[in-house]
Structure 1
Amino acid sequence: MGIEGHSPPAGAVRRRPRPLSPLREHLRDTFWFTPTAGLVGAALLALGVLELDNLLVRELRKAGDYGEIESLIALADDTKTIITTVGSAMLTFIGVVFSISLVALQMAGGQMSPRVVRLYVRSRITKCTFAVFLATFLFALLVQASYEGNDDPRTVSTVPVVSSMMCVLMVLLSLGLFVAYVNSTLRLMRVSHVVDRITRESFRALDRYGVAAAGPPELPAAGAEVPHRGRAGVLRDVHIARLVRAAQRQGVVLRLIPRIGDFIVPGTPVLAVHGGAAAPPHRALRYTVSVGVERTFHQDLGFGLRQLSDIAQRALSPAVNDPTTAVQCLDRIVQFLAAVAERPLGALHHCDRKGAVRLVQDLPEWADLVDLGFAEIRGCAVDSPQVTRRLVAALEDLERLAPAGRRAPLERHRTLLEQAVERTVHEAADRGFALEPDRQGIG
């Protein structure tokens, strides 16, 4: 069966999400690069500014303006106390601030979800603050070492005036970043902000994909499979453009077997080859699959629902007992599911420039997303009428928004919730109260 004339179905996606850069993701997931760059930048800045001080003294000496040099020496002596204080106190300040922050982060991760830590690690303001703090400390040490203790304007080689002023400016920048950092860390400890951040990232992942094909792809029989040859881990991203080019050169259609977010090990089939007996050569498929230690939002539609469900479950645990947080998570789950209620799901068809399908990528179905959002919360919510009332209201709202063909999973969850409440709650009045729809839980 030929595939060159295999045209994409109506609604196929033609734009492709930007590939995930492994190097960029590695740098964002680590905490060493930005501070190291700050230290290197501070050293280079100190060398440049101190050379500017040397040039200033040489020019004044050539002009015979020794009185101006004496004024500069007096000004540098006035700022020396500030530089010495900054050099001795900044490192202690860094240690205290970040020790307290890590304790607060541990508390937030314990109360919400361990995956909250990624928000802190990937925070730009956190890394910039740490980098500027260390850069200020190193810059102050280098400037402090440049003081000669020579007050003779005829023999002094350098007067660190410009560098001292630059150090003061860096201290002011550090204070401003410290205020922004505290504000960012406190927001990270607020569950409403974390939930909103997760929701926004989920919608960005949804918009990145566009709209899936309206129906299942009609593909020739699979002739071969391509196994995974890298390390074991979570499938985080596929390089769609490179896979499309490889499939076009080989004259085949590739289908991604695992979904984004699946854990794969070496030898796991990752690509099925349709329309040909031979797979593209290995060199053409290099760097087309990105595997990491944890899921990301880049191409993973279900990761946001997974995190919201985790936060809600932990809030409903006996150790935390915070049903209001679970209601907040349900609010955002409903928001996301309402956005995809009428959206075609199932498979993305990626085409080459001639319009022929070259790559098919499976997405979570509607039932998968509904189960991910509600199944585990429903199992933990039976003893909390505030959550059951919000859950009933959520299911009713989605039933009104979803097409008739997508109401079955919602009706199933509602039936299971009613059965669980009937088994657990013995009083009829309490059962009626727990199953009354309420968008505020208990308004």
Structure 2
Amino acid sequence: MSTPQGSRYRRPKPLSPLREHLRDTFWFAPAFGLALTVLVWFLAALVDSEVVSLLREWGSYDELGELIGIAEDAKTIITTVSSAMMTFIGVVFSISLVAVQMASGQLTPRVVRIFVRSRITKLTFSVFLATFVMSLLVLAGYEGETDPRLVSSVPLVQSALTMAMVALSLVLFIAYVNSTLRLMRVGYVLDRISREAVAVLRKQERGWEEGASLGAETARISYEGRAGVLRDVHIARLVRVAARRGVVLRLIPRIGDFVVPGTPVIAVHGGPAPAAKALRHSVSVGVERTFHQDLGFGLRQLSDIALRALSPAVNDPTTAVQAIDRIVQFLSVAVALPLGALHHREKDGTVRFVQSVPAWGDLVDLGFSEIRTVLHGNPQVSRRLMAGLDDLVLLAAGQQEGHEEQEGYEDRCAPLLRHRALLVEMVERTAPEAADREFALRPDRQGIG
């Protein structure tokens, strides 16, 4: 079997699926923040008790009395913070959910995942809850006794931490409002989607290298579990299991396919099938697609936004043009890659797991087919689409010249030229006047610049 090209090969990360799955949840960060808050409060309480013990040993009762006075003054502020924080949290996030609902209605329902995966959103919510819990714990630590000779603990460090968390909450609130307002702007959402989609391409780039002979297929392993969308697979675990058995595993469906119980998901080549328990939890199925390993999910979202913008109810061709900009951006990166299949190797470079991904023609069809069929009557969109196809044809021709004999670089221009011809045919069929047809088919990177 072939080996990777030197240091270019990057082994899969064992915790990568877990990290991505936690990013797609909204409960983990707040729960972790609350647990951390309790730990910090406990350590601060120990420090406060130790400070009181040292001052009593030194006989510094005057200093201890001053600390008690400062802590009593801080108690008023902390009481106010405790009573107001939950109300503040409820109002802020209620408004935010309304903003997200508006964005999902105007763009696509899949924009909600941007809010769920937002680091600033999770951090803000976690700090708000942590501040509330810390204030309650600190108030519980106050003693009714004010005599320096009888008091056992003065929550001074705890109060200082609470004040610091209040200040941090205010700073995060400003950042959070800014982030939420950007979520309502179509340009920011499109940029976020395109950056994540290109990042998936970059992550998988080193897996598209010279392939290997898989050998005869010897077995198939069926999926057992609830029906849903194939979100991702645990690559590191599959490579490890295949190496132990001396076989090559191949993923049969693509990431993003809907699978039901009994569907064959993994083919075994070159030997007996591993035990079913060895592959348990290696295939992740959920209710919706994710960006983790799904090469076409970004294009799906961009296409959905363009289609929503071109619907009669919205009629926003400028948003469709912005979506086409990002589709062209994604395809301009993908055109330089062989695509087809990813080969994952173990440490010595032996291929152990093969994962099918969309080919170049599939990505082009996903990006342009549906938009092309609904853009009639919108010359701005047809002009931008024509310019995008022409730009991609130039890039594809350049890539083809440098990879004539390399596998995976079949005729890259053919799908683009097919969509260009279909676009011309559609405009000629729907625009009755020759002048309108000429205007609608004139390439323009701004649509109507």
Give the match for residue 387 of structure 1.
Answer: 381
Amino acid at match of 2:442: E
Shift of 1:147: 3.1
Give the match for residue 313 of structure 2.
Answer: 319
Note if 1:378 corresponds to 2:372.
Answer: yes
Measure, in 2, the Cα distance between the counterparts of 1:338 and 1:55: 63
Give the match for residue 406 of structure 2.
Answer: none
Shift of 1:357: 4.0
Aligned mate of 1:31, from 22, 26, 33: 26
Shift of 1:7: 4.2
Aligned mate of 2:70, from 75, 83, 95: 75
Measure, in 1, the Cα distance between the counterparts of 2:187 and 2:293: 24
Note if 1:297 corresponds to 2:291.
Answer: yes
Single out whichever of 77-86 and 327-336 deviates more from structure 2: 77-86
Give the match for residue 287 of structure 1.
Answer: 281
Single out whichever of 385-394 and 19-28 deviates more from structure 2: 19-28
Give the match for residue 446 of structure 2.
Answer: 440
Q: Is the 8 A contact 1:232 1:265 kept in 2?
A: yes
SS at match of 1:402: helix
Amino acid at match of 2:193: I
Measure, in 2, the Cα distance between the counterparts of 1:363 and 1:329: 23
SS at match of 2:268: strand
Give the match for residue 228 of structure 1.
Answer: 223
Distance 1:350 1:31, change over 3 A: closer
Q: Is the 8 A contact 2:10 2:206 kept in 1?
A: no
Distance 1:72 1:241, change over 3 A: closer
Q: Is the 8 A contact 1:347 1:363 kept in 2?
A: yes
Shift of 1:272: 2.4
Measure, in 1, the Cα distance between the counterparts of 2:153 and 2:178: 41
Amino acid at match of 1:179: I
Q: Is the 8 A contact 1:367 1:409 kept in 2?
A: yes
Measure, in 2, the Cα distance between the counterparts of 1:148 and 1:15: 58
Single out whichever of 235-244 and 129-138 deviates more from structure 2: 235-244
Measure, in 2, the Cα distance between the counterparts of 1:380 and 1:293: 28
Higher relative contact order (CA 8 A, sep 6+): 1
Shift of 1:331: 1.0
Amino acid at match of 1:165: A
Distance 1:17 1:328, change over 3 A: farther
Measure, in 2, the Cα distance between the counterparts of 1:8 and 1:61: 71
Measure, in 2, the Cα distance between the counterparts of 1:152 and 1:248: 70
Measure, in 2, the Cα distance between the counterparts of 1:101 and 1:424: 42
Give the match for residue 405 of structure 2.
Answer: none
**1:362-408 deviation line (CA, Å, top 9, x unaligned):** 22111100000101111221121111110010111111111362222
Distance 1:183 1:38, change over 3 A: same
Measure, in 2, the Cα distance between the counterparts of 1:407 and 1:191: 31
Give the match for residue 132 of structure 1.
Answer: 127
Give the match for residue 183 of structure 2.
Answer: 188
* Structure 1 segments unaligned to the other structure (5+ residues): 1-5
Measure, in 2, the Cα distance between the counterparts of 1:275 and 1:139: 58
* Structure 2 segments unaligned to the other structure (5+ residues): 401-410
Measure, in 2, the Cα distance between the counterparts of 1:252 and 1:390: 49
Amino acid at match of 1:441: G
Give the match for residue 343 of structure 1.
Answer: 337
Single out whichever of 137-146 and 332-341 deviates more from structure 2: 137-146
Single out whichever of 252-261 and 151-160 deviates more from structure 2: 151-160
Measure, in 1, the Cα distance between the counterparts of 2:158 and 2:268: 63
Distance 1:61 1:358, change over 3 A: closer
Give the match for residue 407 of structure 2.
Answer: none
Shift of 1:211: 5.2
Give the match for residue 403 of structure 2.
Answer: none
Give the match for residue 423 of structure 1.
Answer: 429
Aligned mate of 1:121, from 113, 116, 125: 116
Distance 1:327 1:15, change over 3 A: same
Note if 1:172 corresponds to 2:138.
Answer: no
Shift of 1:244: 3.6
Q: Is the 8 A contact 1:316 1:323 kept in 2?
A: yes
Shift of 1:318: 2.1
Q: Is the 8 A contact 1:20 1:298 kept in 2?
A: no
**1:312-336 deviation line (CA, Å, top 9, x unaligned):** 1112122222211211111111111
Note if 1:411 corresponds to 2:417.
Answer: yes
Identical pairs, percent: 66
Give the structure-1-normalised TM-score. 0.90
Aligned mate of 2:393, from 395, 399, 403: 399
- Cα-Cα RMSD: 2.6
Measure, in 1, the Cα distance between the counterparts of 2:381 and 2:295: 24
Aligned residues: 437
Measure, in 1, the Cα distance between the counterparts of 2:143 and 2:369: 71
SS at match of 1:210: helix
Distance 1:14 1:159, change over 3 A: closer
Shift of 1:107: 0.8
